[in-house]
Amino acid sequence: MIFILIFLLWFTGFLAHEIVQPRTRKLIAPSPLPITTLRYVRFLLPGAALLLSLHTDWQTGVMIWLGLGACAGIVCALSLALWRQNAAQPDRPAPSEAK
């Protein structure tokens, strides 16, 4: 369960980082949170994940933190790329309607 929570903290931190970027702010729907709050969130969530991963052994915890951070970064990048690709494509008719 701790692994999932650490992964979600990292993933949410990466999403907050993406929302704060000015070049992609127009692609993602406006957040109800102010930008300054999101700037703090993108630093605090990985820090909270580090504290959570250090719960047992610090050497293993740091490796878990780094590994899950890398996995969350890859998953976040792939999901944002798929989201942008789907948003850029025009609506296609369903296969049954095309005939």
Per-residue pLDDT tens digits for 16-68: 888 888 777 666 666 677 888 888 988 999 999 999 999 878 999 999 999 99
Question: Is residue 98 pLDDT above 60, yes or no?
Answer: no
In a domain, 54, yes or no: yes
| Beta-carbon contacts of residue 77 (< 8 Å; ≥ 6 apart) | 14
In a domain, 25, yes or no: yes
| Beta-carbon contacts of residue 14 (< 8 Å; ≥ 6 apart) | 42, 72, 73, 76, 77
In a domain, 20, yes or no: yes
Answer whether 73's CB lies under 8 Å from 66's CB.
no
In a domain, 93, yes or no: no
Give DSSP secondary structure letters for the chain. -HHHHHHHHHHHHHHHHHHH-TTTTTTSPPPSS-HHHHHHHHHHHHHHHHHHHTTS-HHHHHHHHHHHHHHHHHHHHHHHHHHHHHHHSPPPPPHHHH-
In a domain, 34, yes or no: yes
In a domain, 78, yes or no: yes
Answer whether 49's CB lies under 8 Å from 65's CB.
yes
How many domains does the chain fold into?
Answer: 1
Say what the pTM is: 0.80
Answer whether 10's CB lies under 8 Å from 46's CB.
yes
Per-residue pLDDT tens digits for 2-30: 999 999 999 999 988 888 887 776 666 66
In a domain, 99, yes or no: no
Domain that holds residue 49: 2-88
In a domain, 95, yes or no: no
